[in-house]
Amino acid sequence: MTNAVVMTGYGPPDVLKWAQVPLPEPGRGQIRIKVKAAGISPTDLALRAGYLKDAIPLPPNAVLGYEAAGTVDAVGSGVTGTSIGDAVAALLFSIGGYAEYAIASIWTRKPDTVSWIDAAALPASAEAAIGVLRQLDVKSGETLLLFGGGGSVGIIATQLAVAQGIKVISAVGEHDETLARELRATPVRYGPGVAGRVRAQGAVDAVFDAAGQGVLADAIALAGGPKRVITLSDPAAADFGVTLSQPTPDRAPGALDETIVLLADGGLRLRAHKTMPMQQAAQAHSQLESGNVHERIILTLN
């Protein structure tokens, strides 16, 4: 047996409990990681609260967490080029990161210059950023409106889009306006009246909703329809005819390999973060939902 943060049901953060679970075994093409750090994503919060239970149903006693970093502890059949003891960052499409041990099918070697914390903060955000940019098919010279530009996904998406010659209008709170400018985006203040402030910056070709906070009506109006509007976590997506983009192995293949090189070379900036012990996952979710925390929280294990 081992330990993990188990989701005892849908509901508030206190449904997350540190409990014993069976030690998972890697299957063909998989590795088992002894976890040192795991990231918390906005999708984790939406899953736990039950907002996405129709789109992404979870099994009983699910263990959340789409990303983790640690050392390889066991290797399944068919795995080549990876050995026990290797340091890796992993993308967990079957979730399971809030645990002492996690099973991964997609991983990349962690460079020595990348910390365990940064390695755990990268995978899900990078995959989502690259995946949605590809789905929107935004091209050089077009204008992308990004809701949640100060979030972990938004920061990466901004940098990747700007590097491709895309103009980014970033809808952010006051505390993230300076950050948006540093990332070479045009900030507009998020909140009531945001559509008018965006229109003042010119036409919008596509909208990336990385916030999931009820912006779809404005997004559709600004994009001229739902076709080029994608949200990561707004449960009302289907009501608006908008794509709810879900993490799947074919959404952004190669995203982790591509971005960890940028991170190691200092060419990619991540959202500011703090750490909390993994056993305090419930408290971490509470802090994030309070709206008073403007950093990512990375769960750590000694």
CB neighbour burial string for 114-135, b if at least 16 within 10 angstroms, e if fewer: bebbbbbbbbbbbbbbbbbbeb
Q: Whole-model pTM above 0.85?
A: yes
Torsion 30-33-39-41 (CA) sign: positive
Predicted local confidence at residue 294, as pLDDT: 83
Contact predicate 101/35, CB 8 Å? yes
CA–CA separation, 164 and 206 (whole Å):
15
Q: Are strands 186-189 and 206-209 parallel, antiparallel or unpaired?
A: unpaired
**Regions in the chain scoring below 50 on pLDDT:** none
Predicted local confidence at residue 222, as pLDDT: 97
CA–CA separation, 99 and 116 (whole Å):
15
**Nearest residue to 99 via CA among 41, 16, 27:** 16
Predicted local confidence at residue 56, as pLDDT: 86
Predicted local confidence at residue 249, as pLDDT: 87
